[in-house]
Structure 1
Amino acid sequence: MRSFYLKIAVIFSAILILFGLLVVTITMRASSDIAKEAIQKTNQDITAVLAKEFQPMLAKSFNQDEIEEKLTELSGKNPQFDFYLLSSTGYVKSVIPASKEKIALDQIALDTEPLDRFINGDPLPILASDPLNPDREKPFSAANISIMGSEGCYIYVVLEGDQFTQATAMITESYIMRGTLILLGVVFIISLVTGLFVFSNLTSRLEKIKKTVKGFERGQLNERIEVEGNDELSELSICFNRMADTLVENMKEIQKTDRLRRELVANVSHDLRSPIASIQGYLETIQMKGDTITRDELHNYFGTVLSNTKKLNSLIDGLFELSKLDAEEVTPNLEKISMAELIQDLVQQFRPIAEKREVTLEAQFPTNPNNLIEADIGLMSRALTNLIDNAIQHTPEGGKVTIATVESGQDFVIEISDTGCGISEEDLPHVFDRFYQADKSRSEKQGAGLGLAIAQKILHLHGAEVMVSSIENRGTTFRVALPGNGIPA
């Protein structure tokens, strides 16, 4: 019984059988009730007519033979009926047909309450006991009659007489039962075949789903369920496919994160090893020379140690800052700031550095440079500082770095362009990856490769979109689009 289809088939078959038996029982009972109601309504007035005919015969005497002769005559015309004369208390005084020997007339007393309700015109059908079969109730017709001055007696006609009951039972057991069972069998077979076909179609779809899920479980990550129709199974298939796509994407992201983690460890080790080795080397040299070291040598050694220490400190600060941004522990404190003023301050800050490298640093502003935006001035300054520093570091002597602010539709745009060596198409998608450097030689003069990653994280916190375009040997442009128009100052 592990097969879902077999379980459904067995349950469905059992339900069909029980339903069929219930239908047969209800149908036969309903047919019997309808027949009883119909025969009672059809012969409702028969006893009223008989009462008028028998009343003169029973007014002063009770001639059993004469009554039986008359009832026999009537019974011969209606063999399905049994005729009774009852006392006011329900005792049988006379009965036709001749099967009367089956009952002791002085021992049979019927409940007259149904007879009174019939005579009073209560709604039909009304059933009462059959003297010949006291455990069965049958449709009847009744009327009051006076017997030898005794009022409240009854003429009682059982409309399904003993012969009629026997004949009905025979017919029921033969024709009706056989026909009903045949019809039920045909309906059962048709319903069963149809149901099993439908269930087979449904379970076959479930089997496909199970097969795909098992394949996915075994590592066949490209397996997807074919969506058929527009029902619950289709929705299940769609949900599984979406879940599988999400899982595959998450796995790719995990693999990428793991790869970045390994690269991070390697890059951090590389960036830490060089300054630490330099610091260690110079300190060992100072220790070895002892008192023989000159003041100028000592000054140079300490300068180199200090430079490498600052580089280590910068790298550690960058890693710490990036980790906080990754963990979403940084919340920008938004305020209205003037981007023109911020950029002007940054230009003044970087101009000495640019001049030292013989690079021209220029700021360009729109016609209304006093527009404000909402930003965290500290974080925004940090992001733009990284972008400007990156542009200056990659621009050769005689080159130019331009910082321009423009209003473009719904965005406030900042463009930082340089005339440096540019970035190749192969490297361009990775410029914001941490520790990624297009220059594979990893010059000591360059940073650790965290600046652009930090800048991107900070700009994303402000809802900004940062894009980069570059042409080799012509230069690179970073474009930052801050959402919303500038707010007038």
Structure 2
Amino acid sequence: MLLSVFKKFGSVSTRTLLRYRTNLQRSSAIQQGVLNISIFLISLLLLSIVTYLSVQGALVERMDDGLKQKMGLLVQQQSNSDSDEQYSSEPRTLNQVNFGNEFFLVFPKRDLESKKNRIFRKEGFSNKELDHDDDHYRLLVKHEDGLVFVVAESNDNDQEIMDIVVSSFLFNGLISLFFTTLLVIYLANRSYHQIRTIEHVLKHAAQGDLKQRIGPTDKNNDLAHVSAQIDTMLARLETSMSAMTDISANIAHELKTPISRLRHDLITALDQTEQGKDAMVALNDAYEESGQITETFNALLRIAQIEGGARRAHFTTLNMNDLINTVMDIYAEVAQDSGMSLRFEVNAQAESQPPLMINGDKELLIQMMANLIENSIRYCAEGTAIVIHCVSDGEQVRLQVSDNGSGIPEADREHVFERLYQGDRSRTDKRGTGLGLSLVKAIIELHNADITLLDNEPGLLVCMGFPTVS
């Protein structure tokens, strides 16, 4: 039965190894498995050697102790016997004390010259195979008072025990090697399929197909974790590429009109010059259009730089109240000139609380608040009240910028952060780049903050939350 299992295992293993030979040779699971098997076999060999020597030493020590006791009995019996007794150099059984498969000899020392007695010349313990017997013996020889005392005990039983120990270790080693190899092949085969799936998805991604996914798995291992990270990366990459495609289309669409106007103004100026007319108005219009185009490109470049994350190197600990006061100093008169009011609303309880501290880039945070205020000034009617409010809930510094103007329709709120999105242009004759709130969103994400647009009833309420620092 066991032989048939080994044969079947060998056949399956051979087919598997031939099928995946090239891939398994590069497989980290196979390499690690071979290393583990090698370490296991070396450890098992060392353990077997130590165990073998320990068992052998214990058996020899036990037998030597018995031989010493029997030698004492033999010497004592000889001293009590008649001194004229004839000694035989032939083995004979000691019937007085039953030692089992043993023999003893007592003969004159002069008989050591005999060829068959030469093995008894050296005192002490030794292992011998005697001529008269096929068994192996453990001998104890002692020379005393002109006599040679020999006590011998067969150690064939001990040798059988040692053979069993060796066979057990060999059998256990083969069984362990069998199951370990089977496990390594199974793990390598499983890893192979996972890696092939990953390679397939990455190959398609390299060719531009970002919709491929490795998918969830019921396995809980390193490859499953890496697969999940790859799927997350591909999803984000697909979103980014889609956004880039949309941005490119939007840029082409949005810049088509100002570039066409610029071309028209330049053609008009050229025609007026040829006709001897004053072309200054047309040239001023062309200058304004080129400035608008330059402003759009500068804003796009600034957003890209912010999204790159390099500005995090400029982060310092800032007091949000100080930033708001700086913005108030810049825009209070601007709002007043536009027929609006701008105020920083401070709660009485907030004045007694610790400063509202955050980590951030001072320049970008001022730019963020400036964009929100400029949007209100640009798109709201005269008499609009713009209010800045800031508090802390312990975990976040909550910054709010609100107005009581026309607000943003709820359907447009999820789109206003998109690049070049300008919503309903019919509400105002003032043209913008459509990048102001995109820049705000980029600054918010750089600071790991959040932003929400709500209805101020009437007007718009912009709520932002920044992580606090102690």
TM, length-normalised to structure 2: 0.68
1:314 maps to which of 295, 299, 321? 295
Query: Are 2:193 and 1:211 aligned?
Result: yes
- Flag the 1:264–1:76 CA change in 2: closer, same or farther, 3 A: closer
Q: Judging changes above 3 Å, is the alpha-carbon distance between structure 1 residues 346 and 16 closer, same or farther for their aligned structure 2 residues?
A: closer
Residue 76 to residue 45, structure 1, CA distance change in 2 (3 Å): closer
CA deviations on 1:190-227 (whole Å, 9 max, x unpaired) are: 88668756765675455444333323333362434424
Aligned counterpart for 2:63 among listed residues 19, 22, 35: 35
CA–CA distance in 1 between the matches of 2:385 and 2:66?
A: 108
Report SS of the residue matched to 2:149: strand
Aligned CA distance change for structure 1 residues 386 and 73 (closer, same or farther; 3 Å): closer
Residue aligning to 1:400: 384
Tell me, yes or no, if structure 1 residue 389 matches structure 2 residue 374: yes
Give the secondary structure class of the aligned counterpart of 1:44: helix
Q: Secondary structure at the match of 2:389?
A: strand
1:432 aligns with 2:424: no
CA shift, 1:445, in A, is 4.0
Secondary structure of the structure 1 residue equivalent to 2:196: helix
Structure with bigger gyration radius: 1
Do the aligned partners of 1:110 and 1:129 also contact (CA within 8 Å) in 2? Answer: no
1:16-27 pair list within 5 angstroms = none
Query: Within 5 A, what are the aligned runs for 1:118-267?
Result: 126-127=125-126, 138-140=138-140, 142=142, 144-145=144-145, 153=146, 155-160=147-152, 176=160, 196=178, 200=182, 204=186, 207-219=189-201, 221-227=213-219, 234=220, 237=221, 239-267=222-250
What is aligned with 1:422? Answer: 408
Q: How many residues align?
A: 414
Mapped to 2, the partners of 1:442 and 1:273 lie a distance apart of 22
Tell me the alpha carbon deviations over residues 17-47 of structure 1, each in whole angstroms, 9 at most, x when there is no partner: 9988997897577545533432332332412
1:308 CA displacement: 0.6
Distance 1:218 1:201 in 2: 26
Alignment partner of 1:67 is 2:86: yes
Alignment partner, residue 86 of structure 1? 109
The answer to whether the Cα contact below 8 Å between 1:81 and 1:158 also exists between their aligned partners in 2 is yes
SS in 1 for 2:103: coil
Amino acid at match of 2:302: E
SS in 2 for 1:422: coil
Q: In structure 1, which of residues 448, 451, 454 is the aligned counterpart of residue 436 of structure 2?
A: 451
Q: Distance in 2 between matches of 1:373 and 1:190?
A: 68
Identity of aligned residues (%): 13
Contact residue 318 and residue 362 of structure 2 kept, 8 A: yes
Q: What TM-score do the two structures reach when normalised by structure 1? A: 0.66
Consecutive unaligned residues in structure 1, runs of 5 or more = 58-65, 94-99, 116-125, 146-152, 228-233
Contact 1:80 1:159 in 2 (8 A): yes
SS of the counterpart of 2:67?
helix
Distance 2:256 2:420 in 1: 15
Tell me the residue number matched to 2:332: 347
Deviations 1:319-339 (A, max 9, x none): 232233233343257666352
Query: 2: distance between equivalents of 1:47 and 1:391?
Result: 121
Greater Cα offset, 322-331 or 434-443: 434-443
2: CA distance, partners of 1:333 / 1:32: 79
Query: Is the 1:422–1:474 Cα contact (8 Å) retained in structure 2?
Result: no
**Corresponding residue for residue 276 of structure 1:** 259
Q: In 2, distance between residues paired with 1:474 and 1:364?
A: 19
Please, which moves more after superposition, 407-416 or 435-444? 435-444
Q: Is the 8 A contact 1:413 1:480 kept in 2?
A: yes
- Larger displacement relative to structure 2 (253-262 or 434-443): 434-443
Tell me the alpha carbon deviations over residues 261-298 of structure 1, each in whole angstroms, 9 at most, x when there is no partner: 22333333333333232222222222223253544xx3
Equivalent residue letter for 1:84 = F
**Structure 2 CA distance for partners of 1:440 and 1:28, relative to 1, 3 Å:** farther
Listed as ranges, the gaps of 5+ residues in structure 2 are 1-13, 18-29, 202-211
CA distance in 1, matches of 2:59, 2:167: 20
Q: Which amino acid aligns with 2:417?
A: F
Q: Name the CA shift for 1:245/1:399 in 2 (closer, same or farther; >3 Å).
A: farther
